[in-house]
Amino acid sequence: MATRHSPLPSRHAEAHRAGRVGWLRAAVLGANDGIVSVAGVVVGVAASGVPAQAVLAAGFAATVAGAMSMAAGEYVSVQSQADTEAADLAVERRELHEDPQSELDELTAIYHHRGLEPALARQVAVALTAHDALGAHARDELGITDILRARPLQAALASAAAFCGGAALPMLTALLAPTAHVATATTLATLAGLLLTGAWAAQMGGASPWRGALRVTFWGAAAMAAARVIGALFDVVV
């Protein structure tokens, strides 16, 4: 009597981070830009000697403009990627309809170059073409997958929200710190915020939190130093 074998159960659950790439990249960029750019405005304006109200007004304006700019920039850039992907898929769809044999040969060659024997490569190409020809070409010829597909709206929202979250740190510092120490307090708070966001981003991406924190903080400190020097050059009361 033949024994039926059921599929082997999965022995462990793997936690991959590739699915986070779309929104994580946009969020990290937005948060860091929100902290650094708004803090740079606050520090630069405060160093010029203007009243506290002017510092807050400048920071608020920078937050609104920056968030809108980040959202628009992310949407346009990622939409360009999405348009390119759609155009490439349209080409593949047409070629599959007009010349399916050449497309099958192309897929076979791809699998052969990846290490399969010619006969096995052909067998795999035939099976995947029968299952989902466009999906096979999108994945193996064009490198387009569902996980890494461009999502413009997701990127725009993540970037804008993260920018506002990052900008809140220098804004709150400027609001609560003594007027005479706004620049110094904002600089210190910004560096602390960059350490945290850098560590968080690296952790989410599976890298070393310390390395990510130091990398982000170094460039943030350079930007803050430049803003303070420029602000000090205009030591006037407006």
The encoded tokens of residue 77 equal 């850039």
Q: How far apart are CA 63 and CA 44, in angstroms?
A: 15
Q: Which residue has the tokens 């609001």?
A: 175
Q: What is the pLDDT of residues 153-209, one digit of tens each?
A: 888 999 899 899 889 988 888 888 887 787 788 878 888 888 888 777 667 666 677
Task: Band the pLDDT of 237: cuts 50, 70, 90.
Answer: very low
Distance (Å, rounded) from C-alpha 24 to C-alpha 200?
A: 10
Domain residue extents for the chain? 28-232
DSSP 3-state assignment of 165?
helix
Mean pLDDT of 226-231: 68
pLDDT digits (tens, 9 = 90+) for 120-154: 999 999 999 999 999 999 988 888 877 767 788 88
Instruction: Say whether 50 sits in a helix, a strand or coil.
Output: coil
Q: Among residues 33, 106, 21, which one has the least CA distance to residue 65?
A: 33
Is the separation of the CB atoms in 202 and 209 below 8 Å? yes
- Give me the pLDDT at residue 179, please: 73
pLDDT of residue 109: 93
Q: Is 31 within 8 Å of 197 (Cβ atoms)?
A: yes
* Contacting residues for 201 by C-beta, under 8 A, at least 6 apart: 24, 28, 31, 212, 216
Q: What span, in angstroms and rounded, lies between the C-alpha atoms of 68 and 175? A: 23
pLDDT over 70 (residue 5): no
What would the pLDDT profile of 30-45 be if each residue is shown by its tens digit?
A: 888 888 888 888 877 8
Burial of 63 (0-12, 13-18, 19+ CB in 10 A): buried
- Crossing angle between the packed helical segments 52-98 and 21-47, to the nearest 10 degrees: 160
Q: Is the pTM of this model over 0.85?
A: no
pLDDT for 58-104, tens place per residue?
889 999 999 999 899 889 988 898 899 899 999 999 999 999 999 99
Asked whether the CA dihedral 155, 221, 181, 52 is positive or negative, the reply is: negative
